Structure 1
Amino acid sequence: MLNIFENINPTSKINFEDRVIPLFKIKEESESISLSQFQSDGNYVSIITKNSYSFVKHLLAVWNNGLIPVPINYQLKNVQIKEMLGSINCSNLIVDYDVKQNYKSVCKSVLSFEEIEKSNSINNKYNNTAVVLFTSGSTSFPKAVPLSFYNFDEHYKSIEKRLELSKDDNWLASLPFYHIGGFAIIMRALLSGADLSLVNSYKTGEIISAVNKFNPSHISLVPTQLFEIVNNHIKPNTNHKALFLGGGPSDNDIVKSALELGWNIIKVYGSTETCSMVSSVSIKDYPAKINSSGKAFDENEIIIVDEKMNPLSKNQIGEIVIKSNSLSSGYINNENNQFGSFGFLTKDFGYIDDDGFLHIEMRREDLIVTGGENVNPFEIENVIKNFNFVEDSVVIGVDDVKWGQIICAVVQTKSDVNINDFIKDLKSILPLFQVPKQIIIVDSIPRNEMGKVNRNDLKKLFMKS
């Protein structure tokens, strides 16, 4: 059995809005909630709501009833939610009472938090599935990833020593619970007996307010959130220990500015499949490694392999493979060769330097092959972003009969720009085969709450043009 309350600190609590709720009180409340309306042990129960005290309480209730929680992004359309839940045969849903009617078409059984009755509780076993989380689906249909209590326990054990975690910490839930980055925050707080502080949304103002109000020791951000923190010249709170930065490429100047403001930036690498971070580096301690994603935690192994799965030497770029006790067992109802005795094929490309630090180059799906040339889109994005009039940019490959793919750029500008002059300037900097064939200027580049761009949606812009 895994008792997530065995390390509970008598003073541990959840901070939410103007409420301070002792963790033992939440434990008692969750144990009195019955989900007998849903079916037998092992069934999935989707939870759709914002990060809230209610989410945490009913998450524990789902576990107590021997069921498996499936947090879903509340911003998705019903047709998307129905398709995702249908892919794992999930027919049970818990939502806020005031929006219950909106989800009647999504699931067979829809209940509000307020409607759930009381009865006895059931414990979960150590190897049972703790949660099913969907991948972001930025390049394909979201995959359902089961993670066990064992996975989370092993994850916590692997990071505890290096990150110096303790029951006296206070974790700010600054990322959504339907994402591994946010859900792992709940688990770390529960497994360590630390405090958990919640925010109403992930807007800059809300996060800044929560930092000032709750004085958290640990906060996790994606690059877009860090940009806003730096842009608003926000300094850390007095109890600050670490700011974990992951979820995509980060700008070195922004990271350096954050360090100057006093934030202890720890860059991390991981995914839903790996139960969040598997490597880390403190930029304060290793400033020369600002371009890296750190070294693997204890009990985690990072290997770089070629196309034939042969291990590569230091500084050779290949696919990143993860071996870890925190690895998921594989996708649900999805035949995929990414999992095996070798570990997990991440589809990320990178290398390990002479000092053992991991460097991420790009995702395999992001690679552009044009006229037989392999092109890293992020190299082009960095060049484009160096222009003073550019606010943001995303470079993608669009299918083309002649070239296989052509390079296209979506550019968010601060001021008016002459496209012809812009392309001429790019030709003076980039090799001709790396110069975008098409450029679209937009007012803003849509990103999700994790700062990720849906590249398939952007491709549609060029297919229409």
Structure 2
Amino acid sequence: MPLKKVCKMDNWLKKRASLTPKRMALSYHEQNWTFAELQQAVLETCTHLVGQKVQTAKRVAVLGNNTSQLYFTILALQQLGIEMVLINKNLALPEIEYQLHDANVDLLIYEDEFQSKLQPLKSMTLISLNDLHDSISADASSFIKDEFNLDQVTSIMYTSGTTGNPKGVMQTFRNHWSSAIGADLNLPVTAKDTWICAVPLFHISGFSIMMRSLIYGMNVRLYEHFNPELINQDLLNGKGTIISVVPYMLKKLLSLKDSDYSEKFSYMLLGGGAIDRKTLEICKDSNINVIQSYGMTETASQVVALNLADAIRKLGSVGKPLFPVSLKIKGATKPNQIGEILLKADNITPGYLNHSAPITNNGWFATGDLGYLDADGFLYLKSRLSELIISGGENIYPLEIENVINQFPNIIESAVVGKADSTWDAVPVAFIVTDSMINLKKLTAYLTSNLAKYKVPKKFIVVDKLPKTHNGKLQRKKLQSQI
């Protein structure tokens, strides 16, 4: 049997520092690093990691905020060929313990802010970032990887756990490379761009920006957290050309915007959930280019995007598959037929950690999302397969109802879930967030005039806010328990 050829590439950081050493790589607060300076900072971090014998670990967990130190540490672990488990900083200790145990991690690098939370961990070696950089250093040169094996796992991120226990998504260098190349072939992005990163580095949205910076040779402007006032000022002053946002971030920026952004500003890349038509129309009127996209942790960022040229004509669509991505709708034989979205591409995970069951079916990855392709091949999302409400034999897609509810005056956002019903099996119930009192009878009449009767929610529950994960994904399971 012939041996499988191992595909390798030059170490991305070393290559980028060699090609464009003086080009800006990272901005954080008032500090800036060129790629040569970034490489030096990362290599210094490597010496401290080696001083702590971290290079002997196969897998290391990392917990922290968006800081330059965390940025350097992530890249340093990659230089040493160590798999990283990126921990969501918002998790409770039992959730963190579950992931550390599931990933068989015995070493956790963390920022001091989380020390008290982590104190109860007894069987875990803990190293704070501050202690790391104050610790003894050792020659790391022999441990730095000259090449990256494209099929080697470099990062592991746990799914948000909106349904069931989260699973560790393995991401290879090939996954990140293919994702970056696919995006570059579709999005207007150049080495002259500065990508604002206010999304977490522990999510694929933030981590993918780091990888693209090395591959494209562009600058990353890093923020500790989403600060809409500061980001709006930076966009006004031309300190960023591209920004990744989720719907909440986009709406918050819109609410604070009082003048046009700098002419250097290019677009907002929108992911992390559905956006309502009203917000998109406000963006259009405000001269804000929004590129809607569709992707997930399992696909190492977006696999579908709506080009600027089609944004108005195909309002509501998430676009077409990126060049290296194949997409089809399960069971669909003609346009506009709804079914599960299936994908095939090199940026799709090789699997979930500790789960032997394959995640592909004849080479196709089943996303668990429902959608359809129109006659022009543009993808429209309907809902998660698990969120589908079947009422009296009729399929009800929560997103469709939410889009109509959100058009009603004074409603900020909404979420629709199914409630068990002895007659219809299930009926829709709506949770709504408002900025003032609304007349529920008028809302019901409005919905009845715009939706089939079986789609109109049988009950409305007004709440202060909707439960979401840190990256803005709605947690319908939590709403289900409140019915």
Q: With the length of structure 2 as denominator, give the TM-score of the two structures.
A: 0.88
CA offsets per residue over residues 210-261 of structure 1, 9 Å max, x none? Answer: 4346612211111221112222235333322222112211122322322332
Specify which of 304, 318, 331 is matched with residue 293 of structure 1: 318
Counterpart pick for 1:75 among 66, 83, 90: 90
Q: Secondary structure at the match of 1:76?
A: coil
Residues 283, 290 of structure 1: 8 Å contact kept: no
The worse-fitting range, judged by mean Cα deviation, of 188-197 and 255-264 is 255-264
Distance, in Å, in 2 between the alignment partners of 1:57 and 1:435 is 51
- 1:303–1:321 CA contact under 8 A, matched in 2: yes
Give the superposition deviation at 1:148: 0.8
Give 3-state SS (helix, strand or coil) of 2:190's partner. coil
Structure 2 residue aligned with 1:115: 131
1:35 equivalenced with 2:35 (yes/no): no
Verify: 1:21 aligned to 2:46, yes or no: no
Partner amino acid, structure 1, of 2:287: G
- What is the correspondence of 1:92-107 to structure 2 with a 5 Å cutoff? 92-106=107-121
Which of 336, 339, 347 does residue 368 from structure 2 map onto? Answer: 347
1:187-230 deviations in whole A, cap 9, x for unaligned? 11111111111112114224324434661221111122111222
Say yes or no: does 1:54 pair with 2:69.
yes
Residue number in structure 2 paired with 1:66: 81
Q: 1:150 aligns with which of 160, 174, 177?
A: 174
Q: In structure 2, what is the equivalent of residue 138 of structure 1? A: 162
Q: Distance in 1 between matches of 2:162 and 2:412?
A: 21
Does structure 1 conserve the Cα–Cα contact (< 8 Å) formed by 2:277 and 2:403? no
Does the alignment pair 1:84 with 2:95?
Answer: no
1:117-162, Cα deviation, whole Å (9 max, x unpaired): 4221331433211211122222332221111111111222222233
1:193 equivalenced with 2:217 (yes/no): yes
Runs of 4+ aligned structure 1 residues displaced above 6 Å come to none
* Residues 237, 261 of structure 2: 8 Å contact kept: no
CA distance in structure 1 between the partners assigned to 2:274 and 2:41 by the alignment: 41
Distance 1:393 1:442 in 2: 9
Are the structure 2 counterparts of residues 382 and 298 from structure 1 closer, same or farther at C-alpha, using a change threshold of 3 Å?
closer
Question: How far apart are residue 334 of structure 1 and its match?
Answer: 2.9
Q: Which moved more, 1:445-454 or 1:54-63?
A: 445-454
Is there any run of 5+ residues in structure 2 with no aligned partner, and where? Answer: 1-8
1:231 and 2:250 are equivalent in the alignment: no
Give the 3 Å change call, closer, same or farther, for CA 293–424 of structure 1 in structure 2: closer
Aligned residue among 323, 331, 335 for 2:344: 323
* C-alpha contact 1:14 1:196 (8 A) present in aligned 2: yes
For the 8 Å contact 2:419–2:427, the answer to whether it is kept is yes
Would the alpha carbon gap of residues 189 and 214 (structure 1) be closer, same or farther in structure 2, given more than 3 Å must change? farther
The yes-or-no answer on 1:446 pairing with 2:467 is: yes
The residue that corresponds to 1:412 in the other structure is: 433
CA contact (8 A) 1:304 1:321 kept: yes
Residue 3 of structure 1 is matched in structure 2 by 11
Change (3 A) 1:374 1:38: farther
Q: Residue in 2 aligned with 1:168?
A: 192
Task: Give the match's secondary structure for 1:100.
Answer: helix
Matched, 1:262 2:287: yes
- Aligned identity (percent) is 28
User: Secondary structure of the residue that 1:230 maps to in structure 2?
Assistant: helix
Separation (CA, whole Å) in 1 of partners of 2:441 and 2:267: 45
Cα deviation digits, residues 54-94 of structure 1 (max 9, x gap): 11100011112221112222121111111122222223211
Q: Give 2:152's aligned residue.
A: 128
Q: Greater shift after overlay, 438-447 or 346-355? A: 438-447
1:356 equivalent among 377, 384, 403: 377
The residue that corresponds to 1:282 in the other structure is 307
Say which SS state the counterpart of residue 199 (structure 2) adopts: coil
Distance 2:38 2:255 in 1: 37
CA displacement 1:341-396 (0-9 Å, x = unmatched): 32211111112222222221221011012333221112222232232232221101
Q: How far did 1:17 drift?
A: 0.8
The DSSP-based 3-state class of the residue aligned with 1:240 is coil
CA–CA distance in structure 2, aligned partners of residues 101 and 357 of structure 1: 49
Distance, in Å, in 1 between the alignment partners of 2:72 and 2:204 is: 18
CA distance in 2, matches of 1:195, 1:350: 35
Number of aligned pairs?
A: 458
Maintained 8 Å contact 2:293/2:303: yes
In 1, Cα distance between equivalents of 2:406 and 2:25: 43
Residue in structure 2 matching 1:312, options 311, 320, 333: 333
Secondary structure of 2:175 counterpart: helix
Runs of at least 5 residues in structure 1 that lack an aligned partner in the other structure? none
Tell whether the 8 Å contact from 2:25 to 2:213 is kept in structure 1 after alignment: no
The normalised TM-score by structure 1 is 0.91
C-alpha distance in 2 between matches for 1:244 and 1:273: 18
Compare 178-187 and 100-109 and name the one that shifted more.
100-109
Q: Secondary structure at the match of 1:84?
A: helix
Tell me the SS of whatever aligns to 2:49. Answer: coil
The AA in structure 1 aligned to 2:376 is D
Classify 1:405/1:89 alpha carbon distance in 2 versus 1 (closer, same or farther; 3 Å): farther
